[in-house]
Amino acid sequence: MKKLSLLLILAAQPAFAGEEPFFTLRSTEFVVTIAFILFVGVLLKGKIFGRLGGLLDKRADGIKTELDEARSLREEAQSILASYERKSREVQGQADAIVAAAKREAQAAAEQAKADIEVSIARRLKTAEEQIESAEKQALRAVKDHAVAVAVAAAGEVLARQLTPEAKAGMLDTAIGEVKQRLN
């Protein structure tokens, strides 16, 4: 009741400023003040303010719940993002390691191929040198054989011109004797 009288006093303050008496039904300000007081009284009697407060509290709780849910979703999204970033770094590290290993293997394969080529070239050079040496020996042997054949033919011609048939027979007998001694 004290609240209502205080409200009436505050509402009536501007009404005293006019020239007409305030407390008549002909005064518009008075009628509006009464209507307003009745409206506020109905609101208070129907506990509308309590219901509005309850609805606002319910809405505030709903908003708080949504905010909490949004906060938890954000934290979950951040943890997922951090996980993906960690995995991305790990994958990048593995990719870098694979690339480095591939480079090392390629370099080792190139060095091995170079060494194999050097060995192959050395082997072919050695084979070529052996073939050249063999060809030289064969040529020398052929030249020696030919020289011996020429020398024997020349010696045979010289001996045939210089030896008499008796000397030939004596030399033949001497050679046969030497062969007999060596065989026994």
Residues 6+ away with beta carbon under 8 Å from 141: none
What pLDDT does residue 178 have?
86
DSSP structure string for 10-49: HHHGGGGGSSS-SSSTT-HHHHHHHHHHHHHHHHHHTTHH
| Dist CA 65 CA 59 (whole Å) | 10
| Dist CA 84 CA 36 (whole Å) | 63
| Dist CA 98 CA 104 (whole Å) | 10
Residuewise pLDDT in 10s, the chain (184 residues): 566 655 556 555 555 555 667 777 778 888 999 999 999 888 888 888 888 888 999 999 999 999 999 999 999 999 999 999 999 999 999 999 999 999 999 999 999 999 999 999 999 999 999 999 999 989 888 888 888 788 778 877 777 777 777 777 787 888 888 888 888 7
What pLDDT does residue 20 have?
64
